[in-house]
Structure 1
Amino acid sequence: MVLARDIDPSASPLDYYSFELRRLREEAGLKQAELGAIIFCTGSLIGMVENGRRVPTRDFSERLDAALGTGGVFSRLVGLVLRSQLPNWFQPYAEMEARAAFISTYQCQLVYGLLQAEDYARAVLGVEKPDELDTAVAARMDRQRILARDNPPVLWVVLDEAALHREIGGREVMRNQLAHLLSLQDRQWLEFQVLPFSAGQHAGMMGSFTLLRFDGDPDVHYSESYDSGHMTANPQVIKERSLGYARLQAEALSPRASAELIARVMEERYGNQEPDERAVA
């Protein structure tokens, strides 16, 4: 049994979710264990969510809505809850990303977050957030929902070839990640190019950056350091970085050639080769 604690619903999205869950459960005349049995989880899990000690998942929220007949209340709330679990300095960018009509990004080390497979994201986030890993991964996966909207943003990614060779999480994780990229190549509003090693020096030598375009609002440039993000709508910065991005696109492989390179790296570097068992003299 998880002991109840006072919840201030105005304190955070998670506290509001917790407060509403307890209120609506009690209104339905259900105990924690009874509700848990209906949505196929334990009563203690219901208690931890009600006490703000466990971040709910989207699947959990959808099952709550069905069990309590709430008309999608929790399914709508969970997006706010998960976004609030992102680092404080990253949350403003995530909100802008979700509103953007066109996203152009250059990534020099890692696959862009919106294109990460779950096991790849888990390996990346596990370096800094091992104690909050499930929550961090759920928040990153939830960001990707903008690509499944009826009117998704255009997403154009230039990915440095180094990101294909940097082994994140092991060979199987990398193989799955590259296969995931290839599975996205036919999406109407998504394009990715690989900037090959042969490009030499290029306009992205300063590091990863993203340009966000909006319907009716100024463009925004975003970059980040170890523990902070920087956004600006300065017209001169936008002009310079837009030109830099165009140069990266020009120097990168075509989308078709990029997919061929990704497939080749996936097989040659992360394929299921048998170990060499030849005797060593």
Structure 2
Amino acid sequence: MVHINVLDPSASPLDYYGFELRRHREAAGLTQKQLGQIVNYTGSLVGQIETARKLPTLEFSERCDAALGTEGLLSRLIDLVLRSELPAWFRQIAELESRATEIQAFHTHLIHGLLQTEEYARAVLGYVDRTGLDRKVAARLGRQRILENGQAPLLWLVLDEGVLHRQVGGAAVMRKQLAHLLGYEANPRVNVQVLPFGVGAHAGSPGPFDMFRFSKDPAIVYTEDYETGRSTANPERVGEHSLRYAHLQAAALSPVDSALLIRSVMEERYGEHPLA
């Protein structure tokens, strides 16, 4: 007798996704193997997703929606599923990212999560603990979908030059990561500026931060330390960080000159032109 794992759809967004996938598959009269053949995935993967042991992807969801006639249900659930995989203290920030009309960020140690490649994210997230790494990486990359939809926020990012030189994951990973940054040169909604070493002391010396602006709600400032993060809509804090950000942008290279520096570092330090 085949044992069928019984899911509680209220346990988590991933459990709910698996419950709905199984419900619609069975309603269509398909086995896991048959659905897998239709959507070009293995029946085993379908089973793992149905039992909340594997994270679904957007491509998988879109194919299953088409095969099962679910009118986009599974695709709509993806953002909720991936967000639930983020650390509990960070889920509010992912929600702010998805709602913001404008994001202003200053980062000093790493590329911003919204612009990380899969390889770079894997190197960052798996450095100390590789437990559940695939799910952690998928959740981080899932945040980036906000830059691809029709209501993408305007993203301003000031990066300390040290981020370009800090070799995360090896030279090949850095080449791809810096090339990824350069890929946004023609995107008017993503603006990357580099704060060069030559600036010396600057307005961002107290540390990195993000500011989220909305069409109707008050702006929010987010800062984090080693273990957790803090967000506030306090007008004084928002005003202080707005002033700091204005000074950082004034001190940083222009987006055009920043791209030239990124390209130069990639060629000289990591040994390959992005178009090679």
TM-score range, shorter chain: over 0.9
Q: Are 1:36 and 2:23 counterparts?
A: no
2:247 matched to which residue of 1? 247
CA distance in 2, matches of 1:128, 1:88: 19
Partner of 2:18: 18
Aligned partner of 2:101 in structure 1 is 101
Does the CA contact (< 8 Å) of 1:162 and 1:197 recur in 2? yes
Once residues 109 and 174 of structure 1 are traced to their aligned partners in structure 2, the CA distance between those partners, rounded to angstroms, is 14
Inter-partner Cα distance in structure 2 for 1:8 and 1:263: 50
Aligned partners of 1:3 and 1:114: how far apart in 2? Answer: 41
- Residue 269 of structure 1 aligns to a residue whose secondary structure is helix
Task: Tell me what 1:55 maps to.
Answer: 55
Tell me which residue corresponds to 1:277.
none
In structure 1, the partner of 2:223 is 223
Partner in structure 2 of residue 146 of structure 1: 146
- The CA deviation string for residues 178-230 of structure 1, in whole angstroms up to 9 with x for no partner, is 11111101111121110011111111112210010001100000011222111
Change (3 A) 1:2 1:112: farther
Separation (CA, whole Å) in 1 of partners of 2:33 and 2:62: 18
Conservation of the 8 A alpha-carbon contact between 2:175 and 2:272: no
Residues 128-277 of structure 1 correspond to what in structure 2 (within 5 A)? 128-272=128-272
Q: Distance in 1 between matches of 2:128 and 2:22?
A: 33
* SS of alignment partner, residue 159 of structure 1: strand
Report the Cα offset of residue 4 of structure 1: 2.3
Does structure 2 conserve the Cα–Cα contact (< 8 Å) formed by 1:108 and 1:160? yes
Matched position secondary structure for 1:110: coil
1:2 deviates by 8.5
* TM-score normalized with structure 2 length: 0.95
Task: Report if aligned partners of 1:2, 1:44 keep a CA contact under 8 Å in 2.
Answer: no
Deviation string 1:60-95 (CA, Å, 9 cap, x unpaired) is: 111111111111111111111011111111000000
Take 2:248 and 2:241, find their aligned partners in 1: how far apart are those partners? Answer: 10
Runs of 4+ in 1 over 4 A off after TM superposition: none
Q: CA contact under 8 A between 1:89 and 1:227: conserved in structure 2?
A: no
- The percentage of counterpart residues that share the same residue type is 57
| TM-score (norm. length: structure 1) | 0.93
Distance 1:145 1:128 in 2: 27
Cα RMSD of the aligned pairs, angstroms, is: 1.6
Task: Tell me which amino acid in the other structure corresponds to 1:97.
Answer: E
The 2-side partners of 1:272 and 1:190 are apart by: 24
